[in-house]
C-alpha cells in the first residue's frame, strides 16, 4: 500500500481510537506523547483527529529509551499534571514510573496508548478499524457469560487441561483486566488500542491441572511447549525443552512467582495473531480466542499476591468452558457466531467478512 492510501486507513483507525475508545471530549487538553523514534505521520494524524474532536492539543517528544520505565523527565512530568488526557504513540514507556502515576492518581490524568509499535501500519490495520460499537457488543456478551459463571476449564489439542473456581464479582471491575473502554473518568487508563483483552483471577488455591503453552513472554513462539503443572493454585513443575529450562532459571528463588495468577483471552478477530513477537505479543493477547495465563504477581490486577515477576504464556487454540458451556471453541470466540452479533455486523458489510478471524 502506498503511503497516501495508508493515510486514509490510518485516519479511520485514529477516529475509531480517539472518539470511541480514548473518548476525547470537546475542550479537553490533550498531550500527545511520542518518542524520537515515533513516526511523525502518526503524531500528525492523531493530533489532527483530536483537534477535529474539539480538543486542545500539545505534542511532547521524549528521547527513545530501551529501559522499561524511564519516566517522562522533569518538564513533561508537569505537563502530565496539566493535561486531561495523555495519548502514548510509539514505544512510550511512561506508566509505572512515579511522575506518571502521580499525574494519574493525584491529578486525574486519563491515559490511552496505541499498541506498540504504534506506527501508521498499526493505525491503518483492520484491528484499528474494527467497528468499536460491534466490538463492545461482543465484549459485553463475553462479559455476561463469564460474570454469571463460577468455574472455568481450559483445554487444548496439545494436552492443556486446567480448571479453577473464580468469583463473578471480580470479572469486569478491575482496570486493566477489563480494558475495553471507553471511559471519560479522570484517572482512568482504559488500556491499549486496539482493544481488547479480558479475563479473571482464579480463586486462590483452586487452580488444578496442566497448561501447555505455544508462546511465552520474552521468548516468542516456543520450539517445544512449556508445560506448567498447577496444584491448588500453585505451579509445582515446569517441564519442556530449552525454553522450560530458561523459565526454571528465571523463576528460581523468586518469591511467589509460582502463584497461578490469571487467565485471559482476546476479543478482537482482527488484531495481529502472531505470537512470535518479543518481548510481548500484546496484539496476539488481544486476538479473539487466543488465551494467556500467568504465574507470579497478581496485585497489578487487583489480586492480593505480590511477586516481583509476572510471566505470561500464550495458548493459540484453546477451548474454554464457563460452567461447562463453551466460551471459546478451538480458538474461535463463540460470541462471534452469536445470531445477534451477526445481525449487528450487517451494518458494516458482509457479516462473514466483518467477523472473520485473521488466522
Query: Which helix or strand (DSSP H or E) is residue 107 part of?
Result: helix 98-107
In angstroms, rounded to a whole number, what is the distance separating the alpha carbons of residues 225 and 235?
A: 16
In angstroms, rounded to a whole number, what is the distance separating the alpha carbons of residues 2 and 305?
A: 49
Angle at 139 (CA atoms; ends 123, 280), nearest 5 degrees: 50
CB of 213 to Fe ion, least distance (A): 13
CB of 312 to Fe ion, least distance (A): 4
Contact of 59 with 50, CB cutoff 8 Å: no
Q: Residue 173 burial (CB < 10 Å; 0-12/13-18/19+)?
A: exposed
- The residue with its CB nearest to Fe ion is 294
- In order of 46, 170, 201, 223, the CA distances from 17 in angstroms are 9, 27, 28, 36
Q: Which is nearer to Fe ion, 35 or 192 (CB)?
A: 192
CB of 342 to Fe ion, least distance (A): 31
Reference 199, options 339, 105, 318; nearest CA is 318
Where are any strands of DSSP class E within the chain? 29-35, 56-62, 85-89, 110-114, 151-155, 161-165, 191-193, 197-200, 208-216, 220-231, 234-239, 260-266, 291-296, 310-315, 319-322, 325-329, 332-333
Q: Which is nearer to Fe ion, 294 or 336 (CB)?
A: 294
Q: Which is nearer to Fe ion, 56 or 203 (CB)?
A: 203
CB of 267 to Fe ion, least distance (A): 16
Rounded CA Rg of the chain: 20
Q: Which is nearer to Fe ion, 9 or 262 (CB)?
A: 262
In angstroms, rounded to a whole number, what is the distance separating the alpha carbons of residues 205 and 77?
A: 41
In angstroms, rounded to a whole number, what is the distance separating the alpha carbons of residues 78 and 110?
A: 15
Q: Which is nearer to Fe ion, 39 or 262 (CB)?
A: 262
CB of 301 to Fe ion, least distance (A): 8
CB of 80 to Fe ion, least distance (A): 25
Q: Which is nearer to Fe ion, 243 or 312 (CB)?
A: 312
List residues binding Fe ion (CB under 5 A): 294, 312
CB of 34 to Fe ion, least distance (A): 26
Q: Which is nearer to Fe ion, 103 or 294 (CB)?
A: 294
Amino acid at each position: 500500500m502506498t503511503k497516501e492510501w495508508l493515510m486514509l486507513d490510518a485516519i479511520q483507525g485514529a477516529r475509531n481510537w480517539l472518539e470511541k475508545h480514548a473518548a476525547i471530549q470537546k475542550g479537553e487538553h490533550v498531550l500527545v506523547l511520542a518518542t524520537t523514534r515515533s513516526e511523525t505521520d502518526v503524531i500528525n494524524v492523531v493530533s489532527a483527529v483530536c483537534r477535529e474532536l474539539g480538543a486542545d492539543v500539545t505534542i511532547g517528544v521524549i528521547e527513545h529509551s530501551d529501559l522499561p520505565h524511564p519516566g517522562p523527565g522533569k518538564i513533561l512530568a508537569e505537563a502530565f499534571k496539566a493535561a486531561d488526557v495523555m495519548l502514548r504513540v510509539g514505544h512510550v514507556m511512561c506508566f509505572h514510573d512515579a511522575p506518571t502515576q502521580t499525574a494519574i492518581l493525584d491529578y486525574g490524568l486519563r491515559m490511552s496508548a496505541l499498541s506498540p509499535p504504534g506506527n501508521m501500519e498499526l493505525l491503518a490495520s483492520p484491528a484499528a478499524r474494527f467497528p468499536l460499537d460491534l466490538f463492545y457488543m461482543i465484549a459485553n456478551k463475553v462479559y455476561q457469560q463469564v460474570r454469571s459463571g463460577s468455574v472455568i476449564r481450559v483445554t487444548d489439542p496439545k494436552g492443556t487441561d486446567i480448571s479453577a473456581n473464580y468469583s463473578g464479582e471480580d470479572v469486569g471491575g478491575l482496570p486493566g483486566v477489563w480494558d475495553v473502554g471507553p471511559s471519560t473518568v479522570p484517572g482512568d487508563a482504559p488500556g491499549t488500542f486496539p482493544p481488547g483483552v479480558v479475563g479473571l483471577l482464579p480463586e486462590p488455591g483452586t487452580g488444578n491441572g496442566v497448561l501447555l503453552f505455544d508462546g511465552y513472554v520474552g521468548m516468542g513462539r516456543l520450539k517445544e511447549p512449556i508445560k506448567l503443572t498447577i496444584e491448588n493454585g500453585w505451579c509445582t513443575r515446569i517441564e519442556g525443552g530449552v525454553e522450560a529450562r530458561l523459565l526454571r532459571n528465571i523463576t528460581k528463588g523468586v518469591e511467589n512467582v509460582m502463584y497461578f495468577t490469571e487467565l485471559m483471552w482476546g476479543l478482537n478477530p482482527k488484531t495481529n495473531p502472531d505470537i512470535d513477537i518479543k518481548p510481548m505479543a500484546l496484539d496476539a493477547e488481544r486476538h479473539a480466542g487466543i488465551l494467556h495465563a500467568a504465574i507470579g504477581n497478581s496485585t497489578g490486577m487487583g489480586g492480593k499476591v505480590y511477586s516481583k515477576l509476572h510471566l505470561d504464556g500464550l495458548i493459540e487454540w484453546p477451548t474454554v468452558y464457563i460452567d461447562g458451556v463453551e466460551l471459546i471453541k478451538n480458538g474461535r470466540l463463540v460470541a462471534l457466531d452469536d445470531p445477534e452479533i451477526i445481525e449487528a455486523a450487517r451494518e458494516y458489510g458482509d457479516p462473514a467478512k466483518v467477523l472473520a478471524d485473521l488466522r
